[in-house]
Structure 1
């Protein structure tokens, strides 16, 4: 059988049977147009300024629209629990990653060329177009790092008041409040800030009692928050069985914070013993109810926060760059691959910390070298095998059993030996493809590994 040559449009991904057809398509659809930096839409070059003013006006109404989109992304992300074996086209679950990939090829014709077409989607003014470390630093300061100075102080003050409101509005007296998320860990980016609030209370006798009372308590909290003075700046998300999600808009900076609020009984307490932690690990390993396991794992949230916060500030800058890379280098999912899930922000944080530790934990380092190291590791994702032993011993039975049957990529949660955080992604092959393409961009042109990053030469 003769192979039919196809001609591929680099702008929109359409295929044509002849060069003439591709040229006609380009003249008709793309000639004289440029991509809008904000939304990616193609606009006539002379009308780009009018488009920016009319579509991207920073009014409160448009900001709320943007906040809703961010909230939807967070809702989708929280569905990603051990989905590495689910099809990214139809969400069907399989026993192994290999069987899932075979299904995608046979049933959905998900070939290598189709994966390349559906995965990469670099924004027009991507940070990868920077041509020097100094230019990358300026880009990060202007477009990635969260606001500083008075604007940051205003955010901190408003968030503190809102957290107190949440504690007061929850229909349980004096709950112990735990805060987590990128905002608390210091890895939030401009326009993307996550805050997780956990309300621990002894009112809940056990997991089953908590699940019965949780929906009623979260509904009451939702109603009470909307009646506060902050109610008009709270955009509620879809109802979830175990949590309350909403976006909150700060007045001064029009910066949106994505909240998720959960509640559970205080399994560990503020100062748990080592034996109590080991008991919780065994309970999580043996638990067959995914909802109960999710609630029990909330007790480990403070230790996850401490693990990330212990990194130096330069590492958090690198984390922001990697998160920004994920947001600006991948094509948006379509109706065809709407079940595609990329790695969670927590997975990104752990992967970046690991690379930094391999470099010897330098206090100061080149962001270009650090980003290049992370991308090179993502290219060979099947070799990722990361374990920390700060919270459990190598011979701890639960760890031994989990470690024996793990599949790669494997990043064991440093505070929970039962969770491979890589299981929240079913598109590692797409991540590797986009990372490979990224390493060919101007930012890494003629860049070679320098101390302390020489270990990346083996990748």
Structure 2
């Protein structure tokens, strides 16, 4: 890819100016956008809950959780995605392990159809559509039209809302991991993994603010340098968090060094292998090893810290994706911003 050009900010700047540029161009604008976005999303959530209480929805909602970058606290103005996760109570939608895949799909289809009909009635949303997994709609936040993915899933599979590791998740998650490990059709994984989405949000959302700032900078880079198919942020978030942990979890560090470390790793994807996370328990470790063997996983491997059978970097192995992301990272490393930056242990300033 050509990238944004050598003379666009912050890539044309000296690394000593990055912190000031970040505060003025990402932090400040994002805070306002984040507030406005939450307000718009809350209106939709309250409307759906109101329809539910009045009997307008033919199912019972336990709760609705904000996902995507908004829920994680890694939103970047005008670049980020928003998901909503609706946890549906039995008997309208029971655990996929209890119902079986076919019956779960049937019941989920009825929930999605009902949710689709309800959302079409709301004046604050537009362009409502649906597929077998979720409902999609647009809302306006300031001058921007944002697309929202609304994912219904069973509350019975969700586990504790604040937990994000299998260590603190209910035992039946190990049964879910096994079911996902031996799926005949890998595309059906989405029906199982939906109930784990809140844990993924909490994992990233629980990271310190200064780590999220680096994540936002990496996402800004991805928007400038990567094609649309490679901009999805979760895998980049995990890679950034992993490298921060590998650097010793520094509290104060140079954003330029952190960014350069991430990009250097992206130029050498075949060396990237993350098969465990701090806090992972024996169940996670055993499932991870089974998944690596069963699926014949090759580097780059970054196993989802919530779902040990899922290599989030599989996308980088498809077609020319790995070459494209490595080329974009290499190009950025040659910009004035990063060319003369030295990455020290702990990313020390």
TM-score under structure 2 normalisation? 0.83
Distance of 1:168 and 1:295 partners within structure 2: 27
Q: Report matched runs for 1:302-341 at 5 Å.
A: 302-330=198-226, 332=227, 341=229
Residue 329 of structure 2 is aligned to residue 435 of structure 1: yes
In the TM superposition, residue 422 of structure 1 has moved relative to its aligned partner by 0.4
C-alpha change, 1:149 and 1:131, in structure 2 (3 Å) is closer
Question: Where in structure 1 do 4 or more consecutive aligned residues deviate above 4 Å?
Answer: 148-152
Residue 148 (structure 2) aligned to one of 245, 256, 259: 259
C-alpha change, 1:227 and 1:268, in structure 2 (3 Å) is closer
In the TM superposition, residue 310 of structure 1 has moved relative to its aligned partner by 2.0
Structure 1 unaligned spans of 5+: 1-118, 334-340, 455-459
Count of matched residue positions in the alignment of Structure 1 and Structure 2: 322
C-alpha change, 1:316 and 1:273, in structure 2 (3 Å) is closer
Contact 2:34/2:70 (8 A) holds in 1: no
Residue 10 of structure 2 is aligned to residue 127 of structure 1: yes
Residue 445 (structure 1) aligned to one of 328, 336, 339: 339
Contact 2:159/2:170 (8 A) holds in 1: no
Distance of 1:190 and 1:294 partners within structure 2: 28
The match for 1:144 is 26
Distance of 2:158 and 2:284 partners within structure 1: 26
Structure 2 unaligned spans of 5+: 52-56, 161-167
TM-score under structure 1 normalisation? 0.64
Residue 180 of structure 2 is aligned to residue 284 of structure 1: yes
Q: CA RMSD in A?
A: 2.6
Q: Report matched runs for 1:28-427 at 5 Å.
A: 119-123=1-5, 125-134=8-17, 136-145=18-27, 147=29, 152-169=34-51, 170-201=57-88, 202=90, 203-205=92-94, 206=99, 207-231=101-125, 234-236=126-128, 239-250=130-141, 253-271=142-160, 274-330=170-226, 332=227, 341-342=229-230, 344-389=232-277, 390-393=279-282, 396-404=285-293, 405-425=296-316, 426=318, 427=321
In the TM superposition, residue 436 of structure 1 has moved relative to its aligned partner by 1.1
Of structures 1 and 2, the larger Rg is shown by 1
C-alpha change, 1:351 and 1:216, in structure 2 (3 Å) is same
